[in-house]
Structure 1
Amino acid sequence: MNIDGLLIDLDGVIYQGGKAIPGARTTLEYLEKQDIPFRCISNTTRKCRQTIQSQVSGMGIDVPLEHIFTPPLAAVTYMRQNNKTRFHLLVTGDVDRDFAGTGAHVSQSADYVVVGDAGDNATYNTINTAFRLLMDGAELIALERDRYWMAQDGLALSAGPFVSALEYATGKTAILVGKPSKTFFDLALTDMALPPGRVAMIGDDLFTDVGGAKQAGMTGILVRTGKFREDLLHKSTVVPDMIIGSVADVPDILEG
């Protein structure tokens, strides 16, 4: 394969259920040794990159911080590209750390309102503050727009419903910087300084990973780990460029 760089999904490809997938560490060490550019990507909007790095390190896998790419980093890159860095965050967890040093976190006259999974921080007052900033001219950036997710105590609303509410109230369309948007993949490619035709995305999600990557002009490789489902593969209109057993097969593919 004529591949110069890789985007590799973390959950379901590098680790699963809190444990490293066999061969993941060896593959990442191979990429480092061969000086092959790669980014480990995650769609989470509750954890900063340092927390993700620490989590993966606890599984015995060392990933350099600069090799982790997430929607918050995509948002930072997008804002810098547009030379506008006055932003207002509606998020939770420690994800705000990824925005440190980017510009000014403001409550008025913002260039962007950045919305992620805000959890209990999504109150009437915080959402109304975001609404007012948008009505005053700010643009809306959505780190993700999933409808819901499975929390420890059951289903929980994600960022999507709040992004949609702000779009409806303001008449604005959010700029999505998480998977599967082309913007996310374009920004990740910019971070690696590589064109899409020379990069492959390795993921376990046929639609978010493979489908999104192919729409961005990349090679889409599906692994049979994580959330892989054989029945979806046969029903889907998304056709992977390659299907492999796991990330452990990557060195052989690159050398083949």
Structure 2
Amino acid sequence: MKGIIFDIDGTLILNNQPLPNARETINDLRKLGVQLRFVTNTTGRTPKQLMTILRELGFQVDASEILTSVAACIYFLNENNYGKAGYLAIPDRIKEQFTKIKQTTKNPSFVVMGDLDKKFDYTVLNRIFNYMRNGAQLITFHRNPFFFKEGKTWLDSGAFTLALEHAGDQKAIVTGKPAAQMFQHAVQSMGLPKHEVIVIGDDVLSDILGAEQAGLQSYLVTTGKFKPEQLNEHDLEKERLLNNLYDVISMCTYEDKNKFKY
């Protein structure tokens, strides 16, 4: 194992605080020379902003190692001939990342919907719904139904994606996790073969099943969104469960661990 792809929220941090042994795990993996990537469906911050937050919490992370569903969406639009104009229903703070994407409010060929949080209202959802009825393709960053903030759970954009899919009789294109392309891009950026890379996350649907679709081995942590019943529901072996995130250190090769001073 020479590379690890980590989920961030629920795996490394929760409610803007480090989870137990998370900092030690990341920082000690650095000492072992393991390549790290961090994939997240968080859409309200850029990789540089996420890096700043993680560093303030004591994690050794570089912005170039962070892959967001926003970046995956822009890559998708550029690579899949979505050169026609679209409508962006996304937070203002990330619109600057879409400056090269053509935009319109008149008969858009696609709609990109992001995490609008409190700005998700009837007017916005109805506008997107009618664009879809007129032929626009719905493109979303992820399908997460909820997220953690301020010690509470909050509805996420994935819940509205499901509603719009049902009402608009259309399947949305999802560019973030669990899309296999996001994990594959992370592996490619490491320059490693798949069998030398693992994925670690707390969300069975986004992290674990997404990794499987990308042909990667994955491990589920018992923090964040994890629930014990998910093991049986998704037929996951107990060997793929990490009760302590630091246990990932034991997956490094014997030769690597000999170089590490505990």
Q: TM-score, normalised by structure 2?
A: 0.76
Mapped to 2, the partners of 1:6 and 1:13 lie a distance apart of: 13
Report how far residue 72 of structure 1 moved.
1.2
Q: Which amino acid aligns with 1:64?
A: D
Which residue is 1:73 aligned to? 71
Mapping of residues 199-238 of structure 1, within 5 Å: 199-230=197-228, 232-233=230-231, 236-238=234-236
- What is the CA distance between 1:58 and its match in structure 2? 1.8
Q: CA deviation at 1:197?
A: 3.7
The residue identity in structure 2 corresponding to 1:116 is G
162-171 or 62-71, larger mean C-alpha shift: 162-171
- Per-residue displacement from partner, 1:170-195 (whole Å, max 9, x unpaired)? 43210122333434434444554555
Deviations 1:74-93 (A, max 9, x none): 21221222143544221336
Q: Which residue of 2 aligns with 1:89?
A: 88
Query: Are positions 1:12 and 2:10 aligned together?
Result: yes
- CA–CA distance in 2 between the matches of 1:231 and 1:163? 25
Distance 1:120 1:19 in 2: 23
2:248 counterpart letter in structure 1? V
What residue is the counterpart of 1:138 in the other structure? 136
Give 1:1-256 correspondences, 5 Å limit.
3-21=1-19, 23-32=21-30, 36-85=34-83, 86-92=85-91, 94-97=93-96, 99-108=97-106, 110-149=108-147, 156-192=154-190, 194=192, 196-230=194-228, 232-233=230-231, 236-239=234-237, 242-256=240-254
- Range with bigger deviation, 147-156 or 83-92: 147-156
CA distance in 1, matches of 2:169, 2:205: 28
- Structure 2 counterpart of 1:73, which letter? A
Q: Mean alpha-carbon deviation: is it higher for 63-72 or for 16-25?
A: 16-25
Structure-1-length-normalised TM-score: 0.78
Is the 2:138–2:173 Cα contact (8 Å) retained in structure 1? yes
The answer to which of 217-226 and 25-34 deviates more is: 25-34
CA distance in 2, matches of 1:138, 1:14: 37
Q: Which whole-Å CA distance do the structure 1 matches of 2:2 and 2:73 have between them?
A: 25
Structure 1's unaligned 5+ residue stretches are none
Relative distance call for 1:147 and 1:18 in structure 2 (3 A) is: closer
1:88–1:106: 8 Å Cα contact kept in structure 2? Answer: yes
Identity %: 28
**2:252 aligns to what SS in structure 1?**
helix
Once residues 154 and 223 of structure 1 are traced to their aligned partners in structure 2, the CA distance between those partners, rounded to angstroms, is: 20
* C-alpha separation in 2, matches of 1:30 and 1:157: 35
What count of residue pairs does the alignment treat as equivalent? 253
Q: Is the 8 A contact 1:145 1:163 kept in 2?
A: yes
Cα distance change, pair 80–191 in 1 and its aligned pair in 2 (3 A): farther
Q: CA deviation at 1:245?
A: 4.2
State the Cα distance separating 1:17 from its structure 2 match: 4.1
